[in-house]
Amino acid sequence: MSAIAAISTPNAPGGIAVIRISGDTALEIADCVFKSISGKKACDMAGYTCSYGAAYDNDERIDDCILTVFRAPNSYTGENVAEISCHGGLYVTKRILRTILANGAESAAAGEFTKRAFINGKIDLTQAEAVMDIISAKGETELKMAEILREGAAFKKSQSVKEKLIKVLGDLAAWADYPEDDIPEVEPDVLKESLTEIRNELSALIKGYDYGRILRDGIDTVIIGRPNVGKSTLFNCLSGCERSIVTDIAGTTRDIIEESVKIGDLTLRLSDTAGIRETDDIIEGIGVDIAYKRLDEAQLIIAVFDGSCPLTEDDINLLERLNGRRVIAVINKSDVELAIDVQKINSYNIQPVFISAKENSGIDVIHTAIENLFEVDEINFESGTAANERQKRCIDMSLQQIDEAINAIDSGIMLDAVTVLLDVAVQYILELTGEKATEAVVDEVFSRFCVGK
């Protein structure tokens, strides 16, 4: 394939920068730009070796550099690869890249190096997607999950499912060709048992999907309660800065205030909302409507109550809307005598936590409560998990076909129909791994990558 080149380090000043070249003529192009102190050419270097020298634009010296050579097929892309490491100035890095392009390389598209690794069979599509997850990881657990997927956990599990489905299809084909022979594997009970086992194995791949999405995208979190219960003060405590205006005047917060907050490995997409109450103020009323809308959409609700006074009708109405949701009931103003009916809150199956937002005390208790709500110790990422919507869709569609096949067996429908359904299930597994993905799907996956990776 033709050689491509790009800067693989961030577009910012730094100690070093790396320009990567990959393709059939990568080493020849490197020889046009890089001159080693020893005089040894890139084309004569063994793979996984380095050489010290300088980058030149014709006879003009640009910068001291180190050239690293990786030879096909033992490289990231599966092609010959040359990487030039230079000082990390923006100008010098771009100058070397321009010189490389002038000597025959093409500018790499977003994710093109990893796309070539996929095309050349170095990785499957799930592993390619995990590379971008590693780059964008914001915490230890997210990084661990991405590393496990890059090592092929999801691919191995999907390959196991595919092989079992293909065996079942082979037994069904043998039965169709030789109907007079007794083939135990296609007896309805035996066939249903095999498909149920396959279904359970495939279902395990989406068990950790929601948690993985939460790690990547954050938790859509709303702080809600009636006016003057301390929502904005709590928002500022969690944010670590004065983002929301705090006053004793009811209805101060009318619009949504947003901030991203890190709690352990979790990121909260935190929203402070208008105090919910009946109001004749048109503008405040719009804010209350928006607060209720955010409440309905949120993945986590932090419901704040004033511990210094009894529950009001607005408080009760809020509690009734929280049934079945992920909720933390925060009893604020614990620094004064409590007058709130805690047992009433408990009756809604909501465990309260007690804080004083004004004194910034008890915030660590909220952190612990949030981590407990989203704890997933039972999820084994080593066994593989769907990492994104594309992967989940492929698994869901394959599961749908298997479920229909099991229902067909229960209904006594001809096994020919079961064969058709299972064949479609295999096609979705092949799309998952990229073995039979369309060009449009592959292009969409790599369009999300950064240039240089």
At 249 the pLDDT is 37
Check if the beta carbon of residue 393 is closer than 8 Å to that of residue 222: no
With both helix axes pointing from N to C terminus, report the angle between 439-446 and 112-119 in degrees, rounded to the nearest 10: 140
Cβ count near 198 (within 10 Å): 25
> Quick one: DSSP state of residue 225?
-
At 243 the pLDDT is 46
Sequence ranges of the domains in the chain: 4-108, 153-208+383-446, 215-373
At 172 the pLDDT is 83
Q: Per-residue pLDDT for the chain (453 aa), expressed as one digit of tens each?
A: 899 999 999 988 999 999 999 999 999 999 999 999 999 999 999 999 999 999 999 999 999 999 999 999 999 999 999 999 999 999 999 999 999 999 999 999 999 999 999 999 999 888 888 888 888 777 777 777 778 778 877 888 888 889 999 988 888 887 666 555 555 566 888 888 899 999 998 888 887 777 777 777 788 888 888 887 888 888 888 876 554 444 343 444 444 577 888 887 788 888 887 777 666 666 667 777 787 788 888 889 898 888 888 988 888 888 888 888 889 998 888 778 888 888 888 888 888 889 887 788 888 888 888 888 876 555 566 667 777 888 889 999 999 999 999 999 888 877 888 889 999 999 999 998 888 877 887 888 887 788 888
At 145 the pLDDT is 75
Would you put residue 380 in left (φ > 0), alpha (ψ -120 to 50) or beta?
A: beta
Q: What is the widest separation between alpha-carbon atoms in the chain?
A: 86
At 387 the pLDDT is 78
What CATH fold (topology level) applies to the domain 4-108? Answer: Gyrase A; domain 2 (3.30.1360)
In 3D space, the residue among 404, 403, 384, 380 whose CA is nearest the CA of residue 392 turns out to be 384
> Which CATH superfamily does the domain covering 153-208+383-446 fall into?
tRNA modification GTPase MnmE domain 2 (1.20.120.430)
At 248 the pLDDT is 43
- Separation between Cα atoms, residue 165 and residue 422, nearest integer Å: 7
Strand order across the 266-272 sheet: 257-263, 266-272, 219-224, 300-306, 327-332, 352-354
DSSP-assigned states of every residue in 234-260: HHHHHHTS--S---SSTT---S-EEEE
DSSP-assigned states of every residue in 112-169: HHHHHHHHTTSS-HHHHHHHHHHHH--SHHHHHHHHHHHTTHHHHHHHHHHHHHHHHH
Would you put residue 356 in left (φ > 0), alpha (ψ -120 to 50) or beta?
A: beta
Q: Which two tokens stand for residue 224?
A: 């809600």
Q: Which two tokens stand for residue 446?
A: 């790599």
At 382 the pLDDT is 67
Check if the beta carbon of residue 319 is closer than 8 Å to that of residue 345: yes
The 10s digit of each residue's pLDDT in 85-109 is: 999 999 999 999 999 999 999 999 9
The 10s digit of each residue's pLDDT in 3-23 is: 999 999 998 899 999 999 999
At 280 the pLDDT is 61
At 24 the pLDDT is 96
Q: What is each CA distance from 203 to 13, 168, 384, in whole angstroms?
A: 46, 18, 11
CATH of domain 215-373: 3.40.50.300
Its pTM surpasses 0.75: no
Give the distance, in angstroms, between the CA of residue 341 and the centroid of all CA atoms in the same chain.
Answer: 41
The torsion angles phi and psi of 166, rounded to 5 degrees, stand at -65, -35
Check if the beta carbon of residue 49 is closer than 8 Å to that of residue 40: no
At 395 the pLDDT is 92
Q: Which two tokens stand for residue 204?
A: 């395990």
- Separation between Cα atoms, residue 431 and residue 421, nearest integer Å: 16
